[in-house]
Amino acid sequence: MLTGRSSALFCLLLASALSSTCVHAQVVSTPVPAGIETFQLPSHGALLNAFVYTAAGNGPHPAVVLLHGFPGNERNLDLAQDIRRAGWDVLFFDYRGSWGSPGDFSFEHTMEDVPAALAYLRNPENAAKLRLDPKRIAVVGHSMGGWMALETGAVDHDLLGVGIISGADMTGRIPESFPPQAMPIVLKTVAEKMASQGIAPLAGCTAESLAKEAIEHRVVWAFRTSAAKLNHVPLLVVSSDDGLADADNAMADAAAKAGNTRVVKVHYATDHSYSDKRLELSKTVLEWLGTLPGQPAK
């Protein structure tokens, strides 16, 4: 039988134990907060500057690879934040030779860097660390990044979806055929166009080297060539009043003609960076992501 003093001590110890148990249970049940993981992404001998906005919760989360354009002044990180809030992990990286990433910049290298990024996310160890599902990944690209998303989606049949925002058909506007004597004029014209975009953030290249690369691959890299290969994956095509809408819409129509029944086209009367339509752009992308299989649970 407990004395009054012993009874009081017992009650105090019991209350303390119960309190500790409750606190412990509360800590265990607390969801993992949203965060950011920075790292260097390996691609063909170079280590690219990269980070992932990780979504809140234990996951595994679906993921978006967000691709920037040429040279990449508009990085769309507000869009990345919104996508994360919707429950997706978002990978952003700088291509070889761009914005401080090691290596030389070229269009061919960017086309290699995107599959390297996907391979990184699909690695089981990396996927576990980032709390993402390697089987649920979409790519979304702006401008040249839209071109990279198209080229990647044409050959990667494991993507959840391909989103193209003001995709830049950077070879499709070059004449498919011209006499050899016209090459200096074509090269000068294309190089001037490249230079006008601003290539200071790009290393290991010149406007002329990029122009030569684009001219050499003007058919195989054109939207009209790759669009028909996008008949297997949900496709979002967002355009604006930046002079690219006709090519973007033609690409979307070509994918639909090839049998893609999951093509969504949206147009905004704004500039190439969607400067006054950022909220609308985000809403469009999030609504489209919400239609893809395996999106985050509500």
153 in a domain, yes or no? yes
List alpha helices for the chain, DSSP H: 4-29, 77-85, 107-122, 124-130, 144-155, 183-196, 207-216, 223-226, 245-257, 278-289
Instruction: Compute CA distances 294 → 109, 110, 112, 133, 239, whole Å.
Output: 31, 28, 27, 9, 26
* Tally of domains in the chain: 1
**∠ Cα 55 291 231 (to 5°):** 115
116 in a domain, yes or no? yes
Q: Which two tokens stand for residue 148?
A: 């990279």
177 in a domain, yes or no? no
Instruction: Compute CA distances 136 → 77, 88, 188, 190, whole Å.
Output: 21, 10, 43, 38
Strand-pairing partners, residue 66, are 92, 140
Q: What is residue 228's DSSP assignment?
A: G
295 in a domain, yes or no? no
126 in a domain, yes or no? yes
CATH of the domain at 165: 3.40.50.1820
Phi, psi for 139 (deg, rounded to 5): -115, 140
The whole domain housing 143 covers 32-170+220-289
Phi, psi for 155 (deg, rounded to 5): -115, -15
d(CA 87, CA 149): 21
Tens digit of pLDDT per residue, the chain (298 long)? Answer: 445 555 544 444 444 544 444 444 444 557 899 999 999 999 999 999 999 999 999 999 999 999 999 999 999 999 999 999 999 999 999 999 999 999 999 999 999 999 999 999 999 999 999 999 999 999 999 999 999 999 999 999 999 999 999 999 999 989 999 999 999 999 999 999 999 999 999 999 999 999 999 999 999 999 999 999 999 999 999 999 999 999 999 999 999 999 999 999 999 999 999 999 999 999 999 999 999 987 665 5
274 in a domain, yes or no? yes
121 in a domain, yes or no? yes
Q: Judging by beta carbons within 10 Å of its beta carbon (0-12, 13-18, 19+), is residue 86 exposed, middle or buried?
A: buried
